Chains A and B, each alone.
Chain A
Amino acid sequence: MSLAPSRTASPVTRRTVLKVIGGVGAGLMLGCFADAGRITAGEGSKAALAPNAIVRIDPNGDVIVTVMRSDMGQGVRTSFAMLVAEELDADWNKVKVLQAPADEEKYGSQQTGGSSSITSHNRDLRRAGAVARALLVGAAAKTWGVDPSSCTTDAGVVKHASSGKSLSYGELAGTAATLPIPTEEPKLKDKSEFKLIGKPTNRVDNHDVVTGKAIYGMDVPVEGVVHAVVARPPTIGGSLKSFDDKAARQVPGVIDVVKIGSGVAVVGLDTWAALKGRDALVIDWDRGPNIGVSSATLHEAMVKEVRSHDAAPAGAKVVAATLEFPFLAHASMEPMNAVADVRPDSCTVWVPTQNPSGAKEAAVDASGLPEDKVTVNVTLLGGGFGGRHKADFVSDAVEISKAVKKPVKLQWSREDDMRNDDYRPASHHSFQGAVDSSGNPVAWSHQVVFARGRGGRGYRDAGIMYAIPNAKLAEMGTDSPVRTGPWRSVDHTQVDVANECFIDELASAAGQDPLEFRQKHLRDERVKKVLNAAAQKAGWGTPLPAGHGRGVACFSAYGSCSAYVMEASVEGDKFKLHRVVGVIDVGTAVNPRGVQAQMEGGCVDGLSTALKAEITVDKGAIVQSNWGEYDWLRLNEMPELEIYVMDSGGPFGGMGEVGYPPSPAALANAVFAATGKRVRMFPIKVSELA
């Protein structure tokens, strides 16, 4: 994304205006204040009002909000539309959502990750709505010959109280489209004036989802499309030596077999033909340089990186611990896929991606066409969790379409998806801490080694929520050929989970209740409030049935804080989850119902990865390939779940990732409370408790 210097270009084109606005710090390049980008769909009152790239009001009153971030279940299509509709004073029932194609010049960053959508876009979305509202008010005032300040708006209608006149937004759109766009910064509502923000709202796609009309990547209907799957090297770093496709070409429905960068693609009339054709390929793979790599060798290499911890203060009680986390696959319900239609002079892609610009780059590279000939449309995402930042499935689809000269639907099987992911890295954690004779923590040293290549940030501030003198975190890496990438909550899934387990160990060493110990040493009042609320709702300290234990953990990042109290017991060789109470504070929640859902989802992810999911490596290959081997929590394993959304009234915080980190930690601490044994390894197995 290039930012042009602040200058006035003449003649002013839409693109330069957008760039100039971007250059002066608008963040998202809306073109809110420029008389540019206006779409006049007809004459006079029949025209639509489209004062910026985000909002359009049609003559029939429909409010079309363009959402430039990807929705993978976090509900951004709903919350973004709410932010625009709030300042517009739109009738929520008239709001429709359009998904933006990849165009960062127009929309700003479309990378959907890091719980950043609301925090980075809320202001500009509100401004987009406010500008449209000002134009509609201006149009009504002009029509009635009154002062705009004497007009009010509500639910898609401008009203003039003293005359009793009113006009709907649809009726005003045409006139509003003829007015100059205000140059002054639009006034945004005070929190006390919110009608939509803060109101629990159901997501905009529900009807399409439950009637089967929702279009995910693999559902895109394209005339004449053929279906493709790719045979990829079975080992990490393996490559294709040669292949024989005679039998594959005999499979009914197989249209073609083509060699592409990632392997051998089989193209069929339908996906089944392509899958059967792939099974019939005879391929000689070079297994590559990593066949000696396994989870055990990677673990050994990580442990070797650990150095000795600094000596604890004299006389203090020293506690040492290790923790292990495995690789994790993203395993979205919708396996990776993309549709590509490459023509001699154009390339159109439809793809469920968290990274539209990355997808576009991949399509440009693979098609060999200039950027302005490449269009990337973003569909709904059947899950993401960080796994849809990569774009190798886009390259696959474009390469195949280019080769067979037809639109191609490229489908990764579940097995392809699980074995060719960018995994959450495995990690090894070494802790040393100490408490003094009064039970106060006096030392904290955490060394984490990630299996994601050499390097790391070395020693730095511990980044812990607790006031502990001499607190340090050392981050290191070890050689590993396994591809890694962001996974919901990224390094917090290990560093913060481990921290919340070890603070519990310090509390035990101090002979103190883990909740009270946290309350005493937490630096941030906001986290403390969330923790206290969770404890209170869960009845912390009240008696439990024999064999049950209660654990607690909290978290703060992305502008939000969260906490869980969990109750668990051991039944035979399994854990039984009884009750989970969670509290989440995102400052001001745009859609509390969506925030609650994300907390529920983060909690279930935490429990699933604490108890079940793990990716292992053997002979240079990923072992797991489908559900069952890599499993998730099921409905019958769910505890009672209560989530409370706390409104602290602060700035809009992030949410997608905040629900995860305290979940595995609270469970591990509940397991200790129930069994007296500490968790040293995730996923937690009864037989491996220390």
Chain B
Amino acid sequence: MAQYNISVNGEQHQVDAPPDTPMLWVLRDRLGLTGTKYGCGIAACGACAILLDGAEERSCQLPISEVGSKKIVTIEGLTRDGSHPAQRAWMENDVPQCGYCQPGQVIATAALLNKSPKPTDAEIDQVFETHICRCGTYHRIREAVKQAAKETS
């Protein structure tokens, strides 16, 4: 076990954990931030996506020892009230079905818009080809990403 001081959603947290503990389980089991989901454990589905200094990161592959002073934002911290353009677009387009993968999809959208405020279809494809939605909400996701981009710019 080792002591880590990490920044999550604007707050500092002291966590005592083995260095290889993935942030996914730190967030979920230690900090009670269960909005970040477990889907595969091998970075293949995107359900566990978080923002690390504003970029998308798979928390199942991010050991706590590698976080350092980088700032983590989870779905709970994106906004408290669901007012991020991606969150609003998701609700308006009624994207979720079971909803389980959607926090990861929303986080991926936030990261994409940070990098590219007006993403092309090719950029959207590139981000979301590594995210699975088992309910098949893909074309609503594309619509929602575009709407969120419109509202951001």
Report which A residues bind B (CB closer than 8 A).
Answer: 71-75, 202-203, 205-216, 218-219, 221, 227, 252-253, 269-273, 276, 331-335, 380-385, 411, 413-414, 593, 597-598, 600-605, 608, 626-628, 632-638, 641
Contact = CB atoms under 8 A, between A and B. Distances in A.
Interface in B103-153: 103, 106, 124-126, 128-142
Contact of B22 (A214, A272, A593, A603): A272
B34 A205 contact: no
Contacts of B97: 73-75, 597-598, 601
Contact of A206 (B96, B129, B142): B96
Contacts of A253: 1, 17-18
A637 B101 CA distance: 18
B48 to A, nearest CB: 11
Given A202-B91, A272-B22, A635 B34 contact: no
13 contacts: A73-B97, A73-B99, A206-B94, A207-B91, A209-B90, A211-B79, A212-B34, A212-B76, A215-B34, A221-B34, A413-B41, A598-B97, A601-B135
A219 B129 CA distance: 26
B54 interface: no
9 nearest CB pairs, A to B: A212-B35, A604-B136, A382-B100, A73-B98, A73-B97, A212-B75, A270-B29, A209-B99, A219-B34
A94 B98 CA distance: 23
The secondary-structure label for the interface of chain B is loop
B90 A333 contact: no
Given A383-B100, A601-B135, 10 more contacts: A71-B98, A206-B90, A209-B103, A215-B34, A270-B25, A270-B26, A380-B99, A382-B100, A600-B139, A605-B136
A373 to B, nearest CB: 28
Given A205-B99, A332-B134, A628 B47 contact: no
A635 B128 contact: yes
Contacts of B102: 209-210
Max chain B C-beta neighbours (<10 A), residue from A210, A604, A608:
A210
B45 interface: yes
Contact of B91 (A210, A334, A627, A633): A210
Which of B21, B40, B136 has the most A CB atoms < 10 Å from its CB? B136
Nearest to A75: B97
A214 B97 CA distance: 12
Nearest to A637: B129
A657 to B, nearest CB: 14
Contacts of B47: 333
Nearest to B89: A210
B37 interface: yes
Nearest to A382: B100
Interface of B: 1, 17-18, 21-22, 25-26, 28-30, 32-42, 44-45, 47, 74-76, 78-82, 86-87, 90-92, 94-103, 106, 124-126, 128-142
Contacts of A271: 25, 28-29, 38
Nearest to B77: A212
A385 B97 CA distance: 12
Given A333-B100, A626-B44, A634 B136 contact: no
Contacts of A600: 136-137, 139-140
Contacts of A74: 97
Contacts of A252: 1, 18
Contacts of B44: 626-628
Contacts of B42: 414, 626-628
Nearest to B121: A636
A673 B74 CA distance: 47
Contacts of B41: 413-414, 626
B138 A604 contact: yes
A642 B139 CA distance: 10
A206 B140 contact: no
Given A212-B33, A216-B100, A333-B100, A636 B94 contact: no
A70 B79 CA distance: 29
A632 B134 contact: yes
A216 B130 CA distance: 23
A414 to B, nearest CB: 5
Given A73-B97, A627-B44, A633 B37 contact: no
A211 B128 contact: no
A411 B38 contact: yes
Nearest to A409: B29
A32 to B, nearest CB: 31
Contacts of A632: 132, 134
Contacts of B125: 635-636
Contacts of B32: 221
A222 to B, nearest CB: 11
Contacts of A411: 38
Contacts of B30: 270
Given A75-B97, A206-B94, A333 B37 contact: yes
Contact of A414 (B1, B39, B95, B130): B39
Contacts of B140: 597, 600
Contacts of B26: 270
Contacts of A332: 98, 100, 134
Contact of A72 (B39, B87, B92, B98): B98
A269 B30 CA distance: 9
A627 B45 contact: yes
Contacts of A203: 94, 96
Contacts of B87: 210-211
A273 B17 CA distance: 10
A148 to B, nearest CB: 38
A211 B132 contact: no
Contacts of B138: 604, 633-635, 638
A331 B34 contact: no
Contacts of A634: 128-132, 138
Nearest to B107: A212
Nearest to B34: A219
B98 A227 contact: no
Contacts of B39: 333-335, 414, 627
Contacts of A334: 37, 39, 98, 100
A211 B82 contact: yes
Contacts of A603: 136
Contacts of A635: 124-125, 128-129, 131, 133, 138, 141-142
Contacts of B136: 600-605, 608, 633
Contacts of B139: 600, 638, 641
A186 B76 CA distance: 44
Nearest to A641: B139
Contacts of A210: 75, 82, 86-87, 90-91, 96, 102-103, 106
A331 B134 contact: yes
A617 to B, nearest CB: 22
